[in-house]
Amino acid sequence: MTVLQSYWNKWLNKRIPAATQHHLNHHNIFIFPAKFGLLFLSLCVLLFLLGTNYQNNLMLLLCYFLLAIFLVTLLASYINFARIHLQIGKCPEVFVDDNLHIPLWLNANIDGTSPANGLLHFKFQAIKKQSNKKAKAQHIQSSTLIDADAFTNPINLSQKCHQRGKLTLSRVTVESFYPLGLYRCWTHLAFSHQITVFPKPIPCEIQLHVSDHTSAKKSGEMANEQAGHDDFSHLKTYQIGEPLNHVAWKQLAKGRGMVSKQFSSIGNHIGWLKLSANYTNKTLPHPSQELATALEQELSELCYQVIELSRTQRTFGLDLGAQCIAPNSGNGHRVACLDALAYFPKWGDEDV
């Protein structure tokens, strides 16, 4: 089963490689009679038997007509399905245990040709690793029904993120039964993406190691800082790009123009966020489950701190042992830190 599965996945990867947008065509469309189609065929057989036995030409004509409808619908459903064009949109930041809403744009920048019709079922391909029941439950949960004649772009597919790091986005299965339900047209689309799942932020005290990088091991020099303690220093003219929550709205109301508040804490409290040393030491004798969870816990707390510090425009560095990010501030720095946390090797990964 698993061998078959892997072959199937390999074949799929070759047949429908990941891309940011897919235009459905004969390379990626699968089509086969649906259950109802098979029922319909058996109806035709029954009508044929009845018509032959009663020597009833009208019944035979009905049978052949339905059979012809069956054939013609094959083309009709293919053509309808081939009008679908899907593009993955920009994703918001996502943390572990969050529901990620992946935006898919259906026929967004297609004009001229008529769009697809009928109901479309979107769902993530079931992950076979889990036990069947669980997979089934997830299956139903993630199925989204879209009416291609009445919908608003983008289509949001939600997926729960279980692991930090690069998001493993399973293939999106799109299926349609239009026009008569006789055929099931479906496809398994892989979308290439740059989505990183950050560790789940867990609220904690902010622990900035004020000292410089080399002498950080002394715990006495730890500066316990509460967020929001920064001191206001002066006002200056607002520049585009500065955060809006720094704008002195009162001054604006008084008619003194857009000015932004400047805080003085930045120079004083440059600090480092640090991971405990025992995780950076790779020669630890017995990697255990407890250590792994403890690592995740710590990464989560670091994540919280990064977010909080960035929110308050503080300058900080991140030291993960193997990887150091120099103190800085701003959104780029924040993302870099979160990325580093997300991609921090899992405990025990190095052994494998």
Partner 1 sequence: MFKRLKQKSNDQGTAQSSRNIALLLLAATLVFVSFSLFSSVLTWILLLVACGAVIRGAIYYNYYKHLPSIRTLNLLALLSILGLIYSALSAGLLFGMVNLLILACALKLMQMRSQKDVYQLVISLFFLIGCGFIFNQSIGFSLFYALLCLTLLLSLACYHAPSIRIQKQLKTISILSLQALPIGLLMFLVLPQLSPLWHTPKADGAQTGLSEQITPGDIARLSQSSELAFRATFEDTPPVIQQLYWRAIVMEDFDGKTWKVHGYRKKMRELQLKIKQQFKPILTGSFFNYEVIAEPTYQPWLYALDIAVPADPKSSRNIMQSSDFLLFSQQPLANKYQYAVRSYPKALASQTLSVTDKKINLSLPANGNNRTREWVNKLRAQFRNNNDFVDAVLRHFVDNPFVYTLRPEIMLVDPVDRFLFDNQAGFCSHYASALAYALRLGGIPARIVTGYQGGELVKNPGESPYMSIYQYDAHAWVETWGDKTGWQRIDPTALVSPDRIEFGLRQAMQEEGSFLADSPFALARLTNIAWLNNIRLFLADLDYNWSRWVLGFNSEKQRDLFKSLLGKLTPERLSMLGLGIVVTIAMLLGLFFLPHWLQNRVATTQRLYLKALSAFEKEGTQRATWQGPSAFNQQINEQYPTKVSDPFTHITQLYLRLTYQNKLDTDSSILSVKQCHRMMRRYLALLKSELLKN
CA distance 16 to 86: 14
Q: Which residue lies nearer to partner 1 by CB, 175 or 319?
A: 175
CB of 82 to partner 1, least distance (A): 8
Q: Which residue lies nearer to partner 1 by CB, 27 or 128?
A: 27
Answer yes or no: are the C-beta atoms of 298 and 193 closer than 8 Å: no
CB of 11 to partner 1, least distance (A): 15
Sign for the pseudo-dihedral over CA of 240, 241, 244, 250? negative
Looking from the CA of 238 toward its CB, the CA atoms found within 13 Å total 17
Q: Which residue lies nearer to partner 1 by CB, 55 or 281?
A: 55
CA distance 174 to 187: 5
The H or E element containing residue 63 is helix 57-81
CA distance 67 to 330: 66
CB of 180 to partner 1, least distance (A): 5
**Cross-strand bridge partners of residue 234:** 262
Q: Which residue lies nearer to partner 1 by CB, 35 or 286?
A: 35
CB of 332 to partner 1, least distance (A): 19
Q: Which residue lies nearer to partner 1 by CB, 151 or 232?
A: 151
CB of 207 to partner 1, least distance (A): 40
Answer yes or no: are the C-beta atoms of 29 and 78 closer than 8 Å: yes
Q: Which residue lies nearer to partner 1 by CB, 54 or 232?
A: 54
Altogether, the residues listed in the chain come to a count of 352
CA distance 126 to 232: 54
Of 76, 54, 73, 51, the C-alpha closest to 62 is 51
**Cross-strand bridge partners of residue 235:** 261
Q: Which residue lies nearer to partner 1 by CB, 30 or 54?
A: 54
CB of 99 to partner 1, least distance (A): 19
Q: Which residue lies nearer to partner 1 by CB, 73 or 173?
A: 73
Q: Which residues bind partner 1 (CB under 8 A)?
A: 17, 20, 25, 35-36, 39-40, 43, 46-47, 49-69, 71-73, 75-76, 79, 117-119, 145, 147-150, 177-181
Q: Nearest 10 degrees: CA dihedral of 287, 288, 290, 296?
A: 50
CB of 345 to partner 1, least distance (A): 24
CA distance 95 to 203: 14
CB of 60 to partner 1, least distance (A): 6
